Each structure stands twice: as structure tokens, then as C-alpha cells.
């Protein structure tokens, strides 16, 4: 990755993506070390993403939909 | 002080009446996200590298939501022709993002 690309990715993460994930409780961010850690909602978010991924596979779409409906 | 005076003062939190434009940049949706463009132009006004600019832009505005409002798929559609400007304070500057794409950065003139 070029220096300029790195700069743009860093800016996008620091100024937009990471703070939003912090607000959603998915990660925590330590300003001094500039590191992120999994937050309270990380497991829940990953599980939801996994279900969404499964629903894109037409074989599992019906299963995923019924599982989501059960949780409502 | 009336309620509307109090609210007007809150909106102008930095307490300046006069501003002068110091930088501008046109946001091209195909070239990158709006947050990055805002950070780049404010950093230019400050005379520093974008990666050095603090605090996070997110503390001032949700740039992703603003990007969706003015430059998203439905900003120019059958149902909507978005036209306007969002004005906010960030890192000591006043920043205006226009629906046409121009980002303007102002510093206090007084």
C-alpha cells in the first residue's frame, strides 16, 4: 500500500468508521495507543453478519429468515 | 434573553460573527468518501497532514449520514433533488458542505 493510500485509509478509519463502531458498542478505542478492542456488542454483531452471509446463499435463505422471524 | 436568542447563541457556540473562507475542495463521490475529503481540506487550512488532524470528525458530524443525504443513491432520483448546505463547527473552523459538492472551510475573521 502506498503512503498516500495508507493516509486515506487511516483518516477514514480514525474520523468515521472507528468512532461509529465505538458508538454502537462493537469496539473500544484507546486514543493513546490508537488500538481497538472488541466491545460489548462485537459477538452479537459478528453473529448477525454471519446470519446475513448465510441468507445470501439461496439454499439457506429460508432457514435464515425463519431464524430472524423467531427472534422478533 | 428569550428562548430563541439562547438557541441562536448555542448554534454559534464559537461566538464569532464574522468568518472568512480559507480553503475549499470539491467532493467527487467516485474518488473517495466525504469524511476523508473534509479532513483533507481542514488539515490544509491548519497546515498539517490529514493524519495529524484531531479530534475525530465524527465528534462534529456524522459524515457518512451527510454523504448519504447529499451524494447517496437517492440524492438525485425521481423522488428527490437534494439542494442545500450543512454548516458545522470542527477543529476551530466553520465547515460548509454543499449538496453540489463544494466543501468550504472558514476561520474567524474577528
3-class SS shares of chain A: helix, strand, coil, % to 5: 65, 10, 25
> Coil, strand or helix: which one is B10?
helix
**Any CB–CB contact under 8 A between B107 and chain A?**
no
The predicted complex's ipTM stands at: 0.82
Sort out which chain B residues have CB atoms less than 8 A from A7's CB and list them.
49-51
CA B98 to CA B89: how far, in whole Å?
15
pTM of this structure: 0.79
pLDDT attached to residue B16: 79
Task: Tell if the CB–CB gap between B39 and A7 is shorter than 8 Å.
Answer: no
Look at residue B84 and give its three-state secondary structure.
coil
A67 CA to chain B: closest CA distance, Å?
30
Nearest CB to B39 within list A15, A19, A20:
A15
Is there a contact between A12 and B62 if contact means CB atoms under 8 Å apart? Answer: no
Could you report the per-residue pLDDT of A6-54, keeping only the tens digit for each?
999 999 999 999 999 999 999 999 999 999 999 999 999 989 988 888 6
A16 touches chain B (CB under 8 A): yes
What's residue B98's pLDDT?
97
Angle between helices B63-71 and B34-46 (to 10 degrees): 120
Give the confidence band of A70 by pLDDT, cuts at 50, 70, 90.
low
Q: Do A8 and B36 count as a contact with CB atoms less than 8 A apart?
A: yes
- Tens of pLDDT along chain B (110 residues) come to 676 665 554 445 566 789 999 999 999 998 999 999 999 999 999 999 999 999 999 999 999 999 999 999 888 888 888 899 999 999 999 999 999 999 999 999 97
Cell 458545522 appears where? B88
Contacts of B56 in chain A (CB under 8 A): 14-16, 18-19
Chain A interface includes B62 (CB < 8 A)? yes
Per-residue pLDDT at A42: 93
Amino acid at each position: 500500500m502506498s503512503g498516500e493510500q495508507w493516509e486515506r485509509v487511516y483518516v477514514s478509519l480514525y474520523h468515521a468508521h472507528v468512532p461509529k463502531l465505538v458508538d454502537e458498542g462493537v469496539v473500544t478505542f484507546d486514543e493513546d495507543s490508537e488500538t481497538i478492542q472488541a466491545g460489548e456488542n462485537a459477538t452479537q454483531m459478528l453473529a448477525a453478519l454471519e446470519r446475513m452471509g448465510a441468507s445470501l446463499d439461496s439454499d439457506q435463505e429460508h432457514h435464515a429468515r425463519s431464524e430472524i422471524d423467531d427472534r422478533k | 434573553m428569550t428562548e430563541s436568542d439562547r438557541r441562536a447563541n448555542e448554534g454559534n457556540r464559537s461566538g464569532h460573527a464574522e468568518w472568512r473562507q480559507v480553503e475549499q475542495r470539491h467532493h467527487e463521490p467516485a474518488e473517495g468518501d466525504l469524511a476523508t475529503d473534509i479532513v483533507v481540506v481542514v488539515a490544509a487550512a491548519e497546515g498539517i497532514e490529514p493524519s495529524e488532524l484531531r479530534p475525530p470528525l465524527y465528534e462534529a458530524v456524522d459524515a457518512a449520514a451527510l454523504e448519504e443525504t447529499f451524494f447517496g443513491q437517492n440524492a438525485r432520483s425521481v423522488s428527490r433533488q437534494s439542494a442545500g448546505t450543512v454548516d458545522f463547527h470542527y477543529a476551530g473552523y466553520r465547515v460548509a458542505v454543499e449538496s453540489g459538492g463544494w466543501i468550504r472551510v472558514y476561520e474567524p475573521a474577528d
